[in-house]
Amino acid sequence: MNNYSREWVRLPQVEQFLQLACIQPYIALLSRPLVTQIVREHFKTVRHDKNRQHSGHQWLEADVCRLLSQRLHVRQSRVINATGTIIHTNLGRSPISSKLWQQVSDVNTHYSNLELALNTGKRGQRKGLVAELLGLLTGADDSLVVNNNACSVYLIILALAQGKEVIVSRGEQIQIGGGFRIPDILAMSGAKLVEVGTTNVTTCDDYINAITENTAMVLLVHQSNFVIRGFTESVDIRQLKAKLPANVILAVDQGSGVSTESFCPQEKAIGRYIQYGADLVCFSGDKILGGPQAGIVCGRNDLIKVLEKNPMMRAFRPGRIILSLLEALLIEKLNQHEAGKGISETLLERLPLTKALAEKLASHLPNKAEVITLTAVVGGGTLPDCDYPCYGVAISGEAKRISEQFRACSVPVIGVISHGRFILNLAGVTEDDFEILLKQFCILFPAQKPEIKWVATK
CATH number, domain with residue 285: 3.40.640.10
How are strands ordered across the β-sheet holding 369-379?
85-87, 369-379, 388-395, 421-425, 416-418
Q: Does residue 228 register a pLDDT over 80?
A: no
Q: How confident is the model at residue 370 (pLDDT cuts 50, 70, 90)?
A: very high
Q: Is 456 within the bounds of a domain? A: no
Q: Is 65 within the bounds of a domain? A: yes
Nearest to residue 167, comparing CAs of 115, 129, 203, 116?
A: 203
- The neighbouring-strand residues paired with 421 are 418
Are residues 265 and 123 part of one domain?
yes
Which of 306, 341, 376 is the last residue before a domain boundary? Answer: 341
Q: Specify the number of domains making up the chain.
A: 3
pTM assigned to the model: 0.88
Are residues 295 and 276 part of one domain?
yes
Domain residue limits at 291: 98-341
- The neighbouring-strand residues paired with 392 are 372, 425
Are residues 245 and 274 part of one domain?
yes
Are residues 299 and 208 part of one domain?
yes
Are residues 305 and 274 part of one domain?
yes
Are residues 384 and 235 part of one domain?
no
Are residues 327 and 203 part of one domain?
yes
Q: Is 125 within the bounds of a domain? A: yes
Are residues 335 and 288 part of one domain?
yes
DSSP 243: H
Helix, strand, coil fractions of the chain, as percent rounded to 5: 40, 20, 40
Q: Is 6 within the bounds of a domain? A: no
Q: Is 452 within the bounds of a domain? A: no
Are residues 370 and 329 part of one domain?
no
Q: Is 263 within the bounds of a domain? A: yes
180 exposure class (CB count in 10 Å sphere: 0-12, 13-18, 19+)? middle
Contact call for residues 399 and 306 (beta carbons, < 8 A):
no
Are residues 331 and 398 part of one domain?
no
CA of residue 243 relative to chain centroid, distance: 38
Are residues 309 and 183 part of one domain?
yes
The string of DSSP codes covering 55-96 is B-HHHHHHHHHHHHHHHHTTS----EE-SSEEEBGGGTBSPP
Digit-coded pLDDT (tens) for 431-442: 999 999 999 999
Are residues 154 and 210 part of one domain?
yes
- Over residues 295-318, mean pLDDT: 96
Digit-coded pLDDT (tens) for 6-30: 445 578 899 999 999 999 999 999 9
Q: Is 253 within the bounds of a domain? A: yes
Q: Is 311 within the bounds of a domain? A: yes
Strands 388-395 and 421-425 come out as antiparallel
Domain CATH code at residue 371: 3.90.1150.110
How far apart are alpha carbons 105 and 358 in whole angstroms?
A: 35
